Amino acid sequence: MSFFKCRRALLLAALCLTACAPTTTVGPGVETAPAPSTTTVPPAGTEVPLSAQERETFAQSYRLMVLAELDARLLLEFAQRVEAGTLTESESQSSFLGLGVILEAVGESLNKIVPPAALDLYWVSIIANAEATQAVFTRWEDEEIDSSAVIVQLQPVIADLNATVADAGALLASRYGFDPVSLSGSRDEVMGTIPVFFETPTPAANP
Profile the chain (207 residues) by mean pLDDT over runs of 10 residues. 45 51 41 42 69 94 96 96 91 89 93 94 97 97 96 98 97 95 94 85 53
User: Is residue 203 in some structural domain?
Assistant: no
The answer as to whether 38 is a domain residue is: no
Q: What is the pLDDT of residue 207?
A: 52
Domain-embedded: residue 82: yes
Residue 35 inside a domain? The answer is no
Q: What CA–CA distance (Å, rounded) separates 6 from 159?
A: 29
Question: Residue 53: what pLDDT?
Answer: 94
Residue 123, domain member (yes or no) = yes
Please state, in angstroms and rounded to a whole number, the distance separating the CA atoms of residues 165 and 122: 8
Amino acid 47: pLDDT: 81
Question: Does residue 205 lie in a domain region?
Answer: no
Domain tally for the chain? 1
Which range of residues forms the domain containing residue 135?
3-19+50-193
How many of the other CB atoms lie within 10 Å of CB of 191?
A: 15
How confident is the model at residue 165, as a pLDDT? Answer: 97
Q: Do 103 and 133 contact (CB within 8 A), yes or no? A: yes
Per-residue confidence (pLDDT) for residue 183, from 0 to 100: 95
Report if residue 98 sits inside a domain: yes
Q: How far apart are CA 128 and CA 196, in angstroms?
A: 27
Contact 81, 198 (CB under 8 A): yes
DSSP 117: G
- For residue 91, being part of any structural domain is answered with yes
pLDDT for the residue numbered 196: 86
